[in-house]
Structure 1
Amino acid sequence: MKYTQNNLDKIERIAEEAGYVIRYERGNFQSGYCILQAKKVIVLNKFFQTEGRINTLIDLMPQLEINFDALTHESQKMYDEVMSAEAHK
């Protein structure tokens, strides 16, 4: 997968369609993100470049509660791509 702003937007859209709010903040992040499960908020390190943001969201995807059927067709395709890339790690 290419590390472009367009791909970052698509991955963010998956989380947003699943009901998550993505915020970019600064702070002491052990692995670049923090999940507030009760509120469905994902907080990412705002100092990450596009590649770091994409990698962090891809690493995070398996932990999120995502209803595949509720995603748009475009998001379903990207979700499949993200999950297959994560499985090959």
Structure 2
Amino acid sequence: MNIKYTKNFLDKLENIFAASEFILRYEKGNFKSGYCVLKESKIVIINKYYTLDGKINTLIDIIKEIGFAPQDFIDPKIQDLLTDLRKTELKH
């Protein structure tokens, strides 16, 4: 899958979190990795000063780390996106 670094693609990634039990927040902070995942509280915090590319790459990393499964979502668009993301390798 080719990653499109657009606001529209960022919105699609954010929709995955909106449809899940996790809460996605953008805040300032001193995160060593640029983000923080509080799994017990189901909160994901991303550095709000990241560029669009940085936010997209970080969200993809987090989605893979959390291990969202396509079958856990009702929306077929989210299922397809998650399936494609599983096959995607980011170049850091």
Q: TM-score higher than 0.5 here?
A: yes
Give the shorter-chain TM-score range.
0.7 to 0.9
Alignment partner of 1:15 out of 14, 17, 42: 17
One-letter amino acid of the counterpart of residue 45, structure 1? N
Q: Which runs of no fewer than 5 residues in structure 2 stay unpaired?
A: none
1:52 aligns with 2:80: no
The structure 1 segments of at least 4 consecutive aligned residues displaced by more than 6 Å after TM superposition are: none
Contact 2:35 2:58 in 1 (8 A): yes
* Unaligned 5+ runs, structure 1: none
Could you say which structure has the higher helix fraction? 1
Of residues 36, 39, 42, the one that matches 2:41 is 39
Are residue 83 (structure 1) and residue 86 (structure 2) matched?
Answer: yes
**RMSD over aligned Cα atoms:** 1.6
Q: CA deviation at 1:39?
A: 1.2
Give the length in aligned residue pairs. Answer: 88
> Percent same amino acid at aligned positions?
38
Greater relative contact order (Cα < 8 A, sep 6+):
1
Q: Normalization by structure 1: what TM-score?
A: 0.88
